[in-house]
Amino acid sequence: MIHYNSERTAIFIDGANLYAAARALGFDIDYRQMLKWVSTKGQLIRAFYYTALLEDQEYSPIRPLVDWLDYNGFTMVTKPTKEFTDAYGRRKIKGNMDIELAIDVMEAANYCQHIMLFSGDGDFRRLIEAVQRKGVRTTVVSTMKSNPPMVADELRRQADNFLELADIAHNFQRSYNRDENSDEAQAAYARRLQASENAAARAAGAAMPGSGPVTPQGVLAQQVTDSEAVALEQAEGEGIEDAETPAVRRRGRPPAAEKSTAA
């Protein structure tokens, strides 16, 4: 990817889509390292992260991750999921953040020179085309190496640059360097396992019965189920408390490197 050190850059992360792509490639994302890596590609102005939250439960397992990101340089845009029953009587979850992301990208195009979109959703092709007409360079980050590919072909072709997530994952994937036989490693593993089991039990009511193809609803439910285990390690020691979330929540921090230690 061609980059310019003085280029004003903003990144937009479709949380559920990026999570599904990383999961398909078999790695966890270190979001602090992601900010540092993007900062080497230009002047990072803002980092947006979009996700829907299950607010009808007593405790949302993805909340620790959301709060951790919020206090470490990301502008969080969230809203509650909507639950409905389809014609077959099955409970489904709707948590689409496409409109919020599209509006923010169009606004950022007025003051940024480079937009990086971490998503493979083909619905964003028209959005990429619109900001290109404003003279803004665009980069899409997703993967073609999963089965099936996570990036839509029309989105990949429309963008000025396409970055294969598998090829750049080494820049911001989480590393576990502790001795796996140590007491600390065993305790951490037990915490993550228990968190995953607890989250699965709480999210069971939101999952659709039976098995089938991967769907946005299924990705969201799986993201909620698995995120608590990752969030425990990312948020551990941060001292972050839960807070009530309005209908659409925007809490941002400048993505400066020193802000990462402010929590």
Q: Model confidence over 186-199: pLDDT tens digits?
A: 555 455 555 555 54
Max mean pLDDT range (13-17, 182-186, 239-243): 13-17
The Cα–Cα gap between 233 and 129 comes to 38
User: CB atoms < 10 A from the CB of 20, how many?
Assistant: 23
What average pLDDT does the structure give for the chain? 76
Least confident of 92-106, 111-125, 209-223, 232-246: 232-246
Instruction: With CA atoms as reference, report the closest residue to 244 among 60, 84, 99.
Output: 60
Q: Tell me the residue range of the domain where 137 lies.
A: 8-237
Considering the domain boundaries, does residue 1 fall inside one?
Answer: no
Structural domains counted in the chain: 1
Per-residue confidence (pLDDT) for residue 216, from 0 to 100: 47
Q: Which amino acid is located at 225 in the chain?
A: T
- Cα(150)–Cα(122) distance, integer angstroms: 10
> Could you report the per-residue pLDDT of 214-243, keeping only the tens digit for each?
444 455 545 544 444 445 444 444 444 443
Nearest residue to 241 (alpha-carbon basis) of 31, 53, 51, 63: 63
Partnered with residue 207 across adjacent β-strands are: none
Question: pTM of the entire structure?
Answer: 0.69
With respect to residue 257, please indicate whether it lies within any of the assigned structural domains. Answer: no
- 47 against 190, higher pLDDT: 47
Residue at 186 is within a domain: yes
In the predicted model, is pLDDT for residue 100 greater than 60? yes
Q: Does the residue 262 lie in any domain?
A: no
Q: What is the CATH number of the domain that holds 33?
A: 3.40.50.1010
* Cα distance between residue 100 and residue 115, in whole Å: 15
